[in-house]
Amino acid sequence: MVGVEAGAPAGRILVCGDGLAARMTLAALARQLPPAMAILWARGGRQDDSDLFYGNVTGPSAYAFNLSAGVDERQVMLDSATAFSWGTRYARWGGGRGWMQSFALPFPVMDGVQFHQYLSMGGADGIDPFVAGLQAARRGVFVHPPRATGKGAVHPLSRAEYGYQFDPADYARLFDVSDRVERVAGTIASVMVAEGGIAGVAMDDGRVVTADLYVDVSGPAARLLSALSEDAAAGRRIAIAVSNLPDDDQAPLRTIRATPDGWESDTPLKGRTRRTVVGAPDSVEGAQATLGRRSRAWVGNCVAIGQAAGVVEPLTPAPMLLLERDIERLLALIPVSADRTVEAAEYNRRCAEDYDHAALFQQAFFAADGLPDGPYWQAARAEAVPEKLARKLTMFERRGVLVAYDLEPFHPEDWLILHFGLGHRPARHDPLAARADRGQVAMFLSNMAREIEQGVATLPPARVYRTQLEQYLRKAAS
């Protein structure tokens, strides 16, 4: 195989790797790139172990991403064990603390004041009664959230958001690699480098495959990017192990429990529950990875996607959020000229910000008091608290201000629920909130909580809803 002249626009793209990230990338590229662009796929060996670090939960953005890659929700429900998810429940997380980290649309703003500023004024102790998805998760019920139309009464669930609970290997099979993609037989043997870029990929049968742009989806090993740069993640190292439990309640929430050695999660799927155990390498026998990102994810003519760019602990939906963003960013920055420096610089800037801002959310979990004292916890707490995270924590606890940075993967409502879940309470509130009548505020909050409770009480169990939905989808397709 012979590529076009080196330095030309990306008319020929070689995707190298296997597993979830490879299939999601290939599906998105094949569906969205112009037909004139050739897409090749060279598999680099099984990545089942590293795929475990993508976790078992997506965010609400998965629905739109999947559609853009040619996977609709009918396929997700009928062709996989994937289940619906309102979020994650954290149990025994520091001093026995527990809360539900639910997905939600932005909370209402009243008279220019953010909703949470009124909570203590109205006698509320926390955010829980006002998060519809959270209340639905606790009852184990599910329906697709109705969307507000602007006509008539608004259903309390209309502000809820949902994601998916999945098994990485099962989820990967949903992303079919189309016939447009040229499959390169064999596996990658070595990477050829010249003048700061990749000159070709040698296969195990001796052939050399060339391209204009190389996409590295080979997992933490980053086989292509590592050939161009010795830079690697320098965070703490963790291990992960998984097993399946016989269960079929399909509860729409993942449960994470802190343990002396780390944490474990139970994720209900269709027909089984996925148990994941995470801890220090000395305490958990399983796949291992070093957390953190590379300083540059795009070097020369090679761009890294997912774990090839950075590995994130699957404590939250962050691994899948970042993988989706990497792929979307690549599509937006496919080179259109021989000079790739502008695209590479922008990709690296946005990639670094995404991974660093996701890390802020993850690190906030370890700022809680009363966490265990094993090696896993000691290593997590030993990491320096970034100035950006310190500002978020301090401003909320002092004034109830939700500090936000541009295009964060986790939104203000995610942070608000996390703050309350970790026991953070503002010492003072927005003085503008004092203009409101306390009685009216209390009545508004009481009515909102009651409407959510009454609305959620009528919903069917998630397993029943899933069964009925499958019946409907099969009948519609026949």
User: Look-up: residue for tokens 């955010």?
Assistant: 127
**CB-based contacts of 441, cutoff 8 Å, min separation 6:** 118, 121, 122
Pairing of strands 188-194, 197-203: antiparallel
Give the pLDDT confidence score for residue 234 in this predicted structure. Answer: 81
Q: Which of 159, 115, 152 is nearest to 135 (CA)?
A: 159
To which H or E segment does residue 216 belong?
strand 213-217
CA distances from 50 to 45, 289, 308, 379, 470 (A): 12, 8, 10, 21, 31
**CB-based contacts of 341, cutoff 8 Å, min separation 6:** none
Question: In angstroms, rounded to a whole number, what is the distance separating the alpha carbons of residues 465 and 352?
Answer: 40
Q: Domains of the chain, with CATH numbers?
A: 12-103+161-383 (3.50.50.60), 104-160+384-478 (no CATH)
Vertex 125: Cα angle to 119 and 130 (nearest 5): 60
**Cα torsion 353, 358, 360, 363: sign:** negative
pLDDT digits (tens), the chain, 478 positions = 333 344 456 789 999 999 999 999 999 999 999 999 999 999 988 899 999 999 999 999 999 999 999 999 999 999 999 999 999 999 999 888 899 999 999 998 888 899 999 988 877 888 999 999 999 999 999 999 987 656 656 788 888 999 999 999 999 999 999 999 999 999 899 999 999 999 999 999 999 999 999 999 999 999 999 999 888 778 999 999 999 999 888 899 999 999 999 999 999 999 999 999 999 999 999 999 999 999 999 999 999 999 999 999 999 999 999 999 999 999 999 998 878 899 999 999 999 999 999 999 999 999 988 999 999 999 999 998 999 999 999 999 999 999 999 999 999 999 999 999 999 999 988 888 888 888 888 999 999 999 999 999 999 999 999 999 999 999 998 8
Question: In angstroms, rounded to a whole number, what is the distance separating the alpha carbons of residues 376 and 279?
Answer: 6
Q: Which of 179, 204, 208 is nearest to 194 (CA)?
A: 208
- Other beta carbons within 10 angstroms of residue 147's beta carbon come to 8
The model carries a pTM of: 0.95
- 3-class DSSP state of 387: helix
Task: Please return the burial class of 218, using the count of CB atoms within 10 Å of its CB with bins 0-12, 13-18 and 19+.
Answer: buried
Give the pLDDT confidence score for residue 202 in this predicted structure. Answer: 95
Give the pLDDT confidence score for residue 7 in this predicted structure. Answer: 46
Tokens of 413: 């409502």
Give the pLDDT confidence score for residue 152 in this predicted structure. Answer: 58
Q: What is the number of residues in the chain?
A: 478
